[in-house]
Amino acid sequence: MLRIAKLTDYATLLMVRLARDPARSFSAAQLADELRIPLPTVAKLLKRLLQAHLLTSVRGVGGGYSLAHAPRAISVAEVVSAIEGPVALTECARGAGNCSLEGGCAAGSNWKLISRAVRVALEAVSLADMAMPPLQSVHVQALQEKKP
Amino acid sequence: MLRIAKLTDYATLLMVRLARDPARSFSAAQLADELRIPLPTVAKLLKRLLQAHLLTSVRGVGGGYSLAHAPRAISVAEVVSAIEGPVALTECARGAGNCSLEGGCAAGSNWKLISRAVRVALEAVSLADMAMPPLQSVHVQALQEKKP
DNA sequence: ATAAATAGGACTATATAGGTACTGTTTAGT
DNA sequence: ACTAAACAGTACCTATATAGTCCTATTTAT
């Protein structure tokens, strides 16, 4: 089905929520409650997003998380790779030689191009875009009708 | 990592091999031997590709598989959805209401757009493209540099 | 001091993907 | 007709990785 992991989906929900009030700071419990996601899972995701430098955190009472950058400056691609690692559709597109065919494989280089195209599609959409429903951002529209 | 399934990767290898000799017919055993993929796996994949009408088959001695259409006319997207089902990055982008938030979820509609962009990227590359290594097809190039 | 919060890691269960096996059907050649 | 090659369909097993939980620091406002 070529889907992103469920945790990644959750992560984007979290980020989108934070993007709606970029100034405010949210505790993991608040987010879990509001988005109906189990608290431990939320906590885990926020930690990963923090390590990817997409969030800033304040510890102690009254602490919480908030976006490290403006909603406009964080792309969906960044959120996805923070949770799933770099976007690469195939093993061989990821670099090292896991593929038995290696040199003789014609498809390899083309998968790299496709992976890149997908990455670009994810980079074209920011959290700010995701936060406001109607969304017909220029990038996305451009990406939509591409086939001649 | 947003990767396609390993089986899908195998499937494209099979299709690309067939695309190099569109006139010939290949037995499952031949393909398995040449591509170094376990025969049962190859057989399973060929069956799925057949059901998706991407292949034609001839039964009995001397039988085998060959492409149902010209290599130029089969896209990577078709191969991917034959194995993994329709391309949809999130549950909610697939249609029915698995998402608890449903109406209130701003991100949903945007995921649909992103899914579509990814689908378009996959549709832009044909088996003919994949078969010949250098590949700088117009479509793919266009998809590459999209970020302003 | 205490309680509210994040930080980090280890651990477990389960779903799914990947792979296998078995049985049936078709067809060419002898 | 019989045999063997090859596809067709289905059902099953297993290994891995995802999803989720828990526990134990550490920090800080009151």
What's the predicted TM-score (pTM) here? 0.86
Average pLDDT over chain A reads: 83
The pLDDT-based confidence of A97 (bands split at 50, 70, 90) is very low
In Å, what is the separation between the CA of A68 and the C1' of C10? 28
- Per-residue pLDDT at B75 exceeds 60: yes
Average pLDDT over chain B reads: 82
pLDDT in tens, A42-79: 999 999 999 999 999 999 999 999 999 999 999 999 99
Contact B1 A86 (CB under 8 A): yes
Question: Which CATH architecture is the domain B6-144 placed in?
Answer: Orthogonal Bundle (1.10)
- Tracing tokens 């429903």 back to the chain, one arrives at A133
- Give A82's contacts (C-beta < 8 A, 6+ positions apart): A11, A48, A49, A51, A52, A54
In Å, what is the separation between the CA of A69 and the C1' of C26? 65
Shortest CA distance from B104: residue in chain A: A133
- Per-residue pLDDT at A148 exceeds 50: no
For residue A67 the two structure tokens come to 């976006």
Give contacts of B1 with chain A, Cβ < 8 Å. Answer: 84-88, 94
Secondary structure class of B62 (helix, strand, coil): coil
Nearest Cβ partner for A117 among B91, B114, B144: B144
pLDDT in tens, A13-33: 999 999 999 999 999 999 999
The pLDDT-based confidence of B85 (bands split at 50, 70, 90) is confident
Contact B118 A120 (CB under 8 A): no
Give contacts of A80 with chain B, Cβ < 8 Å. Answer: 2
Q: Mutating which of A6, A87, A98, A114 best tests the B interface, going by the most B Cβ atoms within 10 A?
A: A114
Q: Write the burial class of residue A25 (CB in 10 Å: 0-12 exposed, 13-18 middle, 19+ buried).
A: middle
- Tracing tokens 């003919």 back to the chain, one arrives at B128
| CA gap A71, A86 in Å, rounded | 21
| β-bridge mates for residue B57, sequence order | B65
pLDDT in tens, B102-129: 555 667 777 887 888 888 888 988 999 8
Shortest CA distance from B102: residue in chain A: A35
Contact B122, A37 (CB under 8 A): no
